Copies of this chain bind each other. A is one copy, B any other.
Amino acid sequence: MTMMGDPLSDDGADHERLPGNRSRDALRAAQMYYLQDLTMNAIARELRTSRSTISRLLSLARETGLVQIQVNNPSERAPALEQQIRRRFGVEAHVVPIADSVNDSEVLDRVAIQAARTIGPLVDSNAIIGVAWGSTLSAVSHHLTRKQTHDSTIVQLNGAGNTQTTGITYASEILRSFGQAYGARVEQFPVPAFFDHAETKTAMWEERSVRRILDLQHRMTMAIFGVGSISAGIPSHVYSGGYLDREDLATLETDEVVGDVATMFFRADGTHRDIKLNSRSTGPDLDRLGTVRRRICVVSGESKIDGLRGALAAGLATDLILDEGSARRLVHS
């Protein structure tokens, strides 16, 4: 059989180019597949192309957010764990079901996928979304599903430079993914994670280029972050990646820090007064963070539980996405 030119578009009138003619075919195919329950074979016959093309069109439709699949947690009779967490900690919990047997890196991956799909529907136009960085957020960023929005902005929550690398590529990759998925502007925060001297921070915070970012953060409608936990078996990026020296780590211990969100530290009871490092950290003021409408915390792995407890005590999150094992440990003790 020989080729024929673009057999799918049989209404060949207007050739608008940007939306991609392909995406219209994807919509057609998606309607037939998901709304009419035809098989790919049937669709292929009807659109005069091969089944594999349809398979690929459907992939496209899913990836670009044309098709949205949501699993709704029928409110009241949600799984026991989620209810308990909501009652005890006052956050909306999304527990990711995972058997205990799976290894940590797979847990992270699966939590990340589900987090990405849970976040998707919550994003809407004109949003200003603060995004932290770290291994958790990195994993999430790889699985975002696309969603078209107008005039949205992704803003970096805290600096990422350190003494060894500028950290820029790592953090900016994460931001870029978010921006691309939601069609949003990306605003990086080009400062180190920690200043060496608090005075430098004070000075920088007066710079107009910095104030622009701070202003965006001030107007955030949504924040997305993981937590760091000092006691973690595998310590977070922050505690091992060359951001802090021996002396810094010592002051954290003295200050009874249990964890951090976006490189701002807190204690087990949620307080953060007088924690020395915070005055040099570029993360958002935690009191102010607590006023953001929607604050989504993603946690994977039981080792982060101490940090998580602190973050919850501090009321940093409105929504919590975490694996089942951690959820169990959170309530069962």
Contacts and interface: CB of A to CB of B under 8 A. Distances in A.
A300 to B, nearest CB: 12
Contacts of A40: none
A36 B110 contact: yes
B99 A46 contact: yes
A97 B66 contact: no
A40 to B, nearest CB: 15
A87 interface: no
Task: Place the interface of chain A in its size category.
Answer: 35 or more
Given A66-B71, A69-B69, A71-B30, A118 B80 contact: no
A68 B69 contact: yes
Interface in A36-65: 36-38, 46-47, 61, 65
A31 B71 contact: yes
A216 interface: no
A79 interface: yes
A32 B97 contact: yes
Contact of A36 (B35, B101, B113): B113
Interface string A74-90: 10010110000000000
A67 B77 contact: no
Contacts of A71: 27, 30-31, 34-35, 61, 66-68
Contacts of A69: 34, 67-70
A79 B27 CA distance: 9
Nearest to A25: B97
A114 B74 contact: no
A19 interface: yes
Contacts of A47: 99
Query: What DSSP secondary structure best describes chain A's contact surface?
Result: mixed
A148 interface: yes
B77 A66 contact: no
A102 B43 CA distance: 12
Nearest to A32: B97
Interface in A15-30: 16, 19, 24, 27-28, 30
Contacts of A99: 46-47
A206 interface: no
B97 A31 contact: yes
Contact of A113 (B30, B35, B67, B74): B35
Interface in A284-311: none
A117 interface: yes
A72 interface: yes
B79 A74 contact: no
A96 interface: yes
A73 interface: yes
Interface of A: 11, 13-14, 16, 19, 24, 27-28, 30-32, 34-38, 46-47, 61, 65-74, 77, 79-80, 96-99, 101-102, 110, 113-114, 117-118, 148
22 contacts: A11-B80, A14-B80, A27-B71, A27-B73, A27-B79, A32-B97, A34-B69, A35-B113, A35-B114, A35-B117, A35-B118, A36-B96, A36-B113, A36-B114, A38-B110, A46-B101, A47-B99, A66-B72, A66-B74, A67-B69, A69-B69, A74-B148
